[in-house]
Amino acid sequence: MLQSHNPAPASWDGQPIVLVGLMGVGKSTVGRRLAARLRVPFVDADHEIEAAAGMTIADMFEKFGEAHFRDGERRVIARLVDGRPKVIATGGGAFINDETRALILEQATAIWLTANTDVLVERVRKRDTRPLLRGRDPRQVLADLAAKRNPIYALAPIHVSSHRGPHEATVAAILKAIGR
């Protein structure tokens, strides 16, 4: 069951749509499908960060630390939020940065994708590339991150809950939330 937590559909004005939320919620997968439905480009901020740095996010975390990565992430997202219609999937921590969040809220349509911990754990176990999960219990990490980050994600004006099932249902909920 999908739910959108918005009082009334917003009318999307062509600003970049920025998907925010915890790792594993489906920002990249849903973002690609949403972009296709809207007939706009899709950009994965993590891929753009890796291309700009010439290394993987895991390597950046290992060599330079999270603070260095977050600074690069902020700069790349600032470049991506350029006023042109597109869908941008961000990393789970991007919206937590005050400057990045302010930019997104001012110059884009921010959508918080959320899912319960069981769904997130199931999804993150499919990939071994997430630095914050290395050598740790995914359920505990995700629960801790949710407790800390969900109040900040909630600042996004559009909230869409995703549950087990086809990502196309989440896309449909977003389209409804933006008046499409």
Residue numbers in the known binding site for substrate are 46, 70, 92, 149
Strand order in the sheet with 42-44: 3-4, 158-161, 109-114, 17-20, 87-89, 42-44
For residue 147, with 0-12 CB atoms within 10 Å meaning exposed, 13-18 middle and 19 or more buried, which class applies?
Answer: exposed
What size, in residues, is the chain? Answer: 180
**Could you tell me where the DSSP H helices lie in 39-137?**
45-53, 57-64, 66-80, 98-107, 117-124
Asked if 57 contacts 46 with a C-beta cutoff of 8 angstroms, the reply is yes
Q: Could you give the CA distance from residue 89 to residue 22 in angstroms, rounded to a whole number?
A: 11
Residue stretches of the annotated binding site for Mg(2+): 28
Residue positions forming the annotated binding site for ATP: 24-29, 130
Gap between the Cα atoms of 4 and 23, Å rounded: 19
Known binding positions:
24-29, 46, 70, 92, 130, 149
Find out whether 11 and 177 touch, Cβ atoms under 8 Å.
Answer: no
